[in-house]
Amino acid sequence: MARRTIGRTASSAAIRAREDRQTTRRHLLEAAGHVFAEKGFEGSTAKEISERAQTNTAAVNYYFGGIEALYAAVLEEARHRVFAEEAIGAAVAGKTDPRAKLGAALGVVVETLLGPASSSWVLRVIGRDLVTPSPTTTAAKERLVLPRARILRQLVAELMGLDEDDPAVAYGCITVMAPICMMILADRRMMKRALPALGLDAADAPALARHLALYAVAGLEAAGRDARNK
């Protein structure tokens, strides 16, 4: 009986220690997200991140292997929150029409961009990296970006009726991504002042997503016909 009690106690302690490590890692990730959003990769230090997370300075190395790996983890987390594969996969599941697939995918992304993420560190980190990418995270970004790019390329090619390696498909991918990038980078207060009727709140997400999908589909199909007729 004593042995079983000791075993249960040791097991409980191990579980608590693992949970504590996971909690500390999450705190570091969130703290780093705020610091990187405010100062960028070059202006951030492990010391400041650790202080904001209320951990010792060595924690960045212990949990992530250094500030470069921490930055890569923050970028990965940000992209997962905006371009959530699970949510997009669930939205397009069962849909065979490429128009419906694109509309569903855009719906998920736009809802995220106009939701709580719009006022968090997430969009600012992605935006900073779009404008001033850090070469230290190239390999990590390739693991994140390239699979999503392949999915987008396949969908755009299907809509345009062209092969995936056709240059027009690459142009089409840029057309689809451009408004998403604008919503990440643009000053929304100025956008609203310039376009007073533009809704950029969470309640406006369905209408904006429908418009982007209609606009993208019409343009892609027209561009596809043009490319096939050349």
DSSP assignment letter at 202: G
Answer whether 198's CB lies under 8 Å from 208's CB: no
Are 139 and 206 in the same domain?
A: yes
Determine, yes or no, domain membership for 70. Answer: no
| Residue in this structure with the two tokens 């855009």, named with its chain if needed | 106
Instruction: Write down how long the chain is.
Output: 230
The answer to whether position 71 is within a domain reads no
Tokens of 186: 């643009």
Same domain? 95 vs 163: yes
Please report, in tens digits, the pLDDT of each residue of the chain (230 residues total).
Answer: 555 555 556 565 555 555 567 788 899 999 999 999 999 998 999 999 999 999 888 899 999 999 999 999 999 899 888 887 788 888 888 888 999 999 999 999 999 999 988 888 999 999 998 888 877 778 777 887 888 888 899 999 999 999 999 999 999 999 999 999 999 999 999 999 999 999 899 999 999 999 999 999 999 999 999 998 87
Statement to judge: residues 174 and 220 lie in one domain:
yes
Using DSSP's 3-state secondary structure scheme, residue 44 falls into coil
Say whether pTM exceeds 0.85: no
Residue 218: half-sphere exposure toward Cβ, Cα within 13 Å = 6
Q: Is residue 168 part of a domain?
A: yes
DSSP H or E stretch at residue 176: helix 167-185
Same domain for 110 and 210: yes
Within 13 Å of residue 11, how many CA atoms lie on the same side as its CB?
6
Same domain membership, residue 102 and residue 15: no
For residue 133, the domain's CATH number is 1.10.357
Residue 59, domain member (yes or no): yes
* Strand, coil or helix: 115: coil
Between CA 186 and CA 64 the distance in angstroms is 31
Residue range(s) defining the domain that contains residue 214: 79-229
Rounded CA gap, 20 and 26, in Å?
A: 10
* Number of domains within the chain: 2
Q: Which CATH number covers residue 37?
A: 1.10.10.60
159 in the same domain as 84: yes
Q: Residue 133: what pLDDT? A: 83
